[in-house]
Amino acid sequence: MERRFGAGRWRYRLLSCLLLIAALHGAAHAQTESSVAPVDTPTITIATGNETGVYFPAGGAICRLVNQVYRGDGTRCFIESTDGSIANLEALARREVSFAIVQTDWQHNAYHGNDTMPAQKSLRSVFSLHPEAFTAVVRADSPIRDLDDLKNRRVNVGSRGSGQRATIEILLGHLGWSFSDFSETTELPAVDQPDALCRGKIDVMLYVVGHPNGAVKEVTTLCKSRLIPLSQQMVKSLTSAFPYYRESAIPASMYRHNDEATPTFGVGAVLVTDAATDEETVYRLVKAVFENFEGFRQRHPALANLRIQDMASERLATPTHPGAARYFREAGLVRQ
C-alpha cells in the first residue's frame, strides 16, 4: 500500500536531507584541511620495560607526543612498566596492550616461532628504535675478564619474561652451557642489580640494554666496577650464527672508571603491534612521533642518535603494519 505524507512531513524530510548534505560537506572539507583522517578516540597502551631501562622513557616519549598532538580529540596514550620483551609479546598476543617495545631478536623468534613460543604471525613492525648492547659488569677487583670466566660464578640471569634472560639462554646454548654451569643464579630485576653487585651478592651483572643506561651508571657510581669486553672471535661467532645479532660497542668514558670502548654484540629495539590494530591509530601514532622527531630524540640520551630513515626501515624482522607503511610512503621514507 502506498504511504502518503503531509506537507509538514515532506518539509521535515527535505530539511533532514539538507542537514545531512551540509554535514557531509563539512566533514569532507575538514578532512582536506587535515592530513590525518578523524577516527574514534582510542585508548593506546604501550608495554615498555622497567624504569631503569630505555623502553620505559622511550614509550613515555611516544605517549607524550601522541597526547600532545591529539589532545583535542580525546585520544589517550598510556605506558605500562613490564619485565621486558617476552612479557610484552605475550601481552600483545593476548590483546592486553595495543603496542609493545621489544628486542629485535625476540621479535624475530616470536614471528617465526621457536621451542619456547608458538609463531605469532599477526605481529607487525611499527618503527625501529635504539640499538641495545649485551652488557656484562663486574667489580673492579673481580678476576672475571671474559665470558669464559663466568663458569662457577654467581650470575643474575634476569627475571622471567625479560629479553635479557631469553638472550642469556640463547648465549648459553651457543656456548654449550646451561644455568648449572654457574655456582648460583638469581632472578633480580634490573633495578636491584647494582646494589647486589656492589654488596658482593652476585659476581656479574648481565644486561641487554640501550646506552647510556641508568642501572649501569648507578653501579659504576656506587662502587668501582668495569665492563667486560667480548672477544672479536666471540662476537663474530654470535653474529654469524644468529642473523638478528650485530657487532656493537659501548662508547669509551660513558661510565665512570671505564675509559675504553667495550666491544660486544647487540640487538635493536623496535615498536610492534598486532595486524588487527586499527590502521588509522597506527598512522596517527607514527605521524605524531616522526613529525615531532627532534622533541622525541631529546627525551633520552639513548634516543639522541636516531635517524628517521633508519627508524622506518632498519632491522624490522616482521612485516610493517599498513598504518606505519602508509605514513612512510607519504613522507618519502620508503619506496612507493
Model pLDDT for residues 71-129, shown as the tens digit of each residue: 888 899 999 999 888 899 999 999 999 999 998 988 998 999 987 788 999 999 999 99
Say whether both 296 and 225 belong to one domain. Answer: no
| Across 172-183, average pLDDT | 94
Say whether both 161 and 76 belong to one domain. Answer: no
196 occurs within a structural domain: yes
Crossing angle (nearest 10°) for helices 55-69 and 279-290 = 100
149 occurs within a structural domain: yes
Say whether both 148 and 192 belong to one domain. Answer: yes
pLDDT band with cut points at 50, 70 and 90 for residue 27: very low
Q: Report the number of distinct structural domains present in the chain.
A: 2
Position with higher pLDDT, 208 vs 254: 254
Q: For position 71, which CATH number holds?
A: 3.40.190.10
pLDDT band with cut points at 50, 70 and 90 for residue 34: very low
Say whether both 67 and 216 belong to one domain. Answer: no
Say whether both 146 and 252 belong to one domain. Answer: yes
Alpha-carbon gap, residue 9 to 5, rounded angstroms: 6
Say whether both 297 and 213 belong to one domain. Answer: no
pLDDT at 336 over 80: no
35 occurs within a structural domain: no
Secondary-structure breakdown of the chain: helix, strand, coil percentages, each rounded to the nearest 5: 45, 20, 35
Mean pLDDT rounded to a whole number for the chain: 85
306 occurs within a structural domain: yes
pLDDT band with cut points at 50, 70 and 90 for residue 227: very high
The domain in which residue 71 lies consists of 43-130+269-330
Say whether both 87 and 182 belong to one domain. Answer: no
11 occurs within a structural domain: no
Say whether both 223 and 152 belong to one domain. Answer: yes
Say whether both 218 and 121 belong to one domain. Answer: no
pLDDT at 8 over 50: no
Alpha-carbon gap, residue 269 to 128, rounded angstroms: 6
Say whether both 108 and 136 belong to one domain. Answer: no
Q: What is the pLDDT of residue 15?
A: 34
Of 119-128, 140-149, 223-232, 313-322, least confident by mean pLDDT is: 313-322
Q: What is the pLDDT of residue 41?
A: 55
Q: What is the 8-class DSSP label of residue 181? A: G
| Across 196-201, average pLDDT | 96
99 occurs within a structural domain: yes
pLDDT at 46 over 50: yes
Say whether both 140 and 197 belong to one domain. Answer: yes
User: Strands, DSSP E only, in the chain?
Assistant: 43-47, 76-80, 99-103, 123-139, 154-156, 184-186, 204-209, 225-227, 246-250, 262-274
Write out the three cell numbers for 292: 615531532
8 occurs within a structural domain: no
Q: What is the pLDDT of residue 212?
A: 87
72 occurs within a structural domain: yes
Residues sharing a CB contact under 8 Å with residue 191, sequence separation 6 or more, in sequence order: 50, 51, 52, 215
Position with higher pLDDT, 247 vs 334: 247
Say whether both 118 and 57 belong to one domain. Answer: yes
The residue from 240, 268, 296 where one domain ends is 268
Q: What is the pLDDT of residue 73?
A: 87
